[in-house]
Structure 1
Amino acid sequence: MVRQRRRRGVAVVAAAVTVVGVVAGTTGCSGSEGAVSAGDRPLGDPGAVRDAADVLVGAGSSKAETSLVMATGGTRVTIRGEGRYDFRKRMGQLSVVLPKDPAGADEHRPISELLAPAALYMKNRGAGVPDDKWVMLDSTTLADGNLVTGGATDPLTAAELLRAAKDVVVVGEQELAGVRVTHYQGVTDIGRAAKQAAPYAREALAAAARGFAEDVVPFDAYLDDAGRLRKVRHQFSYLNQGRTVAVASTTLLYDFGVPVGVRLPPKDQIFTGKIKV
């Protein structure tokens, strides 16, 4: 069982009502709303990392692939997601695939996720939720601010975390999925990022700053020649059953400018009953 917290009169189960909880059971400066021109910073300038969220908003949208790797019960598990994200509307959709059970049977259907400002919607959640219903979680009430809860880090929130990047060094240039990128390494601070993030992300990141075992988060970021974030990997320290668990979250972005159509479910499709944990 993962620890529970109660906030704003609503019982919130941190990760137990989420993808991460399912896996654990089976394995035993303020943000700117405008875009930053790619020419504003030279290649290799560490400040480009802190500008990543603004540049993504300027890019409009992209396809995304995500992975969340964690060790639980002596077993390393990986949760993968794939979808699209609209950086201007701050909304996206992912299909999240859970790992096979230890016997090798693929017992979990992909979970459909809709990402919205301060909210996460999940379908095919299981745990007593009818197949035709969505679960809605308020990111600002989750102990991790939905950085790992849904089995994926919201792509734009992952970039917002980089606003507090420090000790940034340039590792070098390399090719990533056919694109030339600059590889940066450094650390960010969740609490500082919460204060500097765009308004939509502040409450969720502030919640994460209170809920994670460590505020300091090492990262690897890969930016292309236009300053667009192509890949980012964060190494979180997550609290689970009183123990600190290392969780590596990776987001890959490509095909910028693709159309993204996200429709949030109406109220009558939102599950309001009790979720089994």
Structure 2
Amino acid sequence: MVVRKLRRAGGADAVTATAAVVAAVATGLTGCSPGAADAAPPVGAVVANGGKAGDGAAGGSLDAVRAVPGLLVRAGTSKARTALEMATGGTRLTIEGEGGYDFRAGRGRVRVLLPEDGDRPRRRITELFTPGALYMKNRGAGVPADKWVRIDTTTLADGNLVTGGATDPGAAAELLRAARRVTYVGEARIGRVPVAHYRGTTDIAAAARLAPPRVRGALAAAAKGFATDTVPFDAYLDEEGRLRKVRHRFSFTNGEREVDVESTTELYGFGAPVDVPLPPQRDIYAGKIAG
């Protein structure tokens, strides 16, 4: 994972913007109002589920997007890239990660690289996504480098949608179950893969009600912690209906500042082996975290 300082307005601002997301989400997110009504792609366009627009159910933009979580469970596993871009004041930061995810088990592993903090160099954090918990290794703040910190995601104000610096790929997909007012934007490519680009909004509280039990608690926490449940997204689906890329746009206030957060998850290498063993209890840090 790489952190890019896209525009710098001072070192302190850069670190503050990162800490606002990686350490905790202060207050609620604000989204934008719902967009245009559901629209089907033009006849002949490449659409999800291997069909052509106008072929009945295969051409339904809303149905195609809402079907994403189930199709990912059917696919089993994939490799994943994550990016969390933040903007506050005159500073923009992008935190990137890479790993893999098992959609049947609801577990994933991503490695992230945090930015410099004063004289402290960048440090790499390993994150494990599991149902109801986030594990972080090399967390810093007084935690030994060989120990893991376990965080109950149902206690986080954002349900771990942005807190860890990378959105849980399973949660990112589950948000699409409650997609609404979806429009077909057009054909695109993710690498060499042709995809259909859809745009719409989702409702976090509705997604929590529709989600399977393993992610329901975290999404329910996010629904309570955000100022609004409405979150805009762009989703890119391949010809089999599998999610190749999704971008959610959040914003929240940190003190008197408004922080814009754009979270992107890209999936590839479907079927690749993904092993996410949980750390033994003896390796989980039980002391006090400095901050």
TM score, norm. by length of structure 1: 0.83
Provide the aligned C-alpha RMSD in A.
2.5
Kindly indicate whether the alpha-carbon contact (under 8 Å) linking 2:180 and 2:200 is maintained by their aligned counterparts in 1: yes
Q: Distance in 2 between matches of 1:186 and 1:51?
A: 14
Within the alignment, does 1:72 sit opposite 2:88 as a pair?
yes
Which secondary structure does the structure 2 equivalent of 1:42 belong to? helix
Larger Rg: 2
Which secondary structure does the structure 1 equivalent of 2:177 belong to? helix
One-letter amino acid of the structure 1 residue matched with residue 182 of structure 2: V
Within the alignment, does 1:146 sit opposite 2:148 as a pair?
no
Kindly indicate whether the alpha-carbon contact (under 8 Å) linking 1:77 and 1:99 is maintained by their aligned counterparts in 2: no
Kindly indicate whether the alpha-carbon contact (under 8 Å) linking 1:170 and 1:182 is maintained by their aligned counterparts in 2: yes
Alignment deviations for residues 40-63 of structure 1 (CA, whole Å, 9 cap, x no partner): 941453211011111000000000
Shift of 1:240: 2.6
One-letter amino acid of the structure 1 residue matched with residue 162 of structure 2: V
Which of 219, 233, 237 is matched with 2:251 structurally?
A: 237
Shift of 1:174: 1.2
Higher RCO (Cα < 8 Å, 6 or more apart): 2
Alignment deviations for residues 137-159 of structure 1 (CA, whole Å, 9 cap, x no partner): 01101110000011011101101
Alignment of 1:1-277 (within 5 A): 20-21=22-23, 41-43=57-59, 45-100=61-116, 107-241=121-255, 243-277=257-291
Kindly indicate whether the alpha-carbon contact (under 8 Å) linking 1:55 and 1:227 is maintained by their aligned counterparts in 2: yes
The share of aligned pairs that are identical, in percent, is: 61
Kindly indicate whether the alpha-carbon contact (under 8 Å) linking 1:122 and 1:136 is maintained by their aligned counterparts in 2: yes
Shift of 1:20: 1.4
Kindly indicate whether the alpha-carbon contact (under 8 Å) linking 2:113 and 2:124 is maintained by their aligned counterparts in 1: yes
Kindly indicate whether the alpha-carbon contact (under 8 Å) linking 1:80 and 1:98 is maintained by their aligned counterparts in 2: no
Shift of 1:244: 3.8
Alignment deviations for residues 34-87 of structure 1 (CA, whole Å, 9 cap, x no partner): xxx877941453211011111000000000000001123531111111000011
Q: Which runs of 5+ in 2 are unaligned?
A: 1-16, 27-48
State how many pairs are aligned.
249
One-letter amino acid of the structure 2 residue matched with residue 233 of structure 1: R
Change (3 A) 1:202 1:244: farther
Which secondary structure does the structure 1 equivalent of 2:188 belong to? strand
Change (3 A) 1:140 1:117: same
Kindly indicate whether the alpha-carbon contact (under 8 Å) linking 1:44 and 1:170 is maintained by their aligned counterparts in 2: no
Which secondary structure does the structure 2 equivalent of 1:46 belong to? helix
Change (3 A) 1:161 1:61: same
One-letter amino acid of the structure 1 residue matched with residue 151 of structure 2: L
Kindly indicate whether the alpha-carbon contact (under 8 Å) linking 1:46 and 1:170 is maintained by their aligned counterparts in 2: no
One-letter amino acid of the structure 2 residue matched with residue 21 of structure 1: A
Kindly indicate whether the alpha-carbon contact (under 8 Å) linking 1:44 and 1:182 is maintained by their aligned counterparts in 2: no
Change (3 A) 1:18 1:86: farther
Alignment deviations for residues 191-223 of structure 1 (CA, whole Å, 9 cap, x no partner): 111111112111111100111232110000000
Alignment deviations for residues 223-244 of structure 1 (CA, whole Å, 9 cap, x no partner): 0000000000000123433654
One-letter amino acid of the structure 2 residue matched with residue 94 of structure 1: V
- The equivalent residue for 1:31 is none
Q: Distance in 2 between matches of 1:256 and 1:243?
A: 40
TM score, norm. by length of structure 2: 0.79
Q: Distance in 1 between matches of 2:275 and 2:241?
A: 25
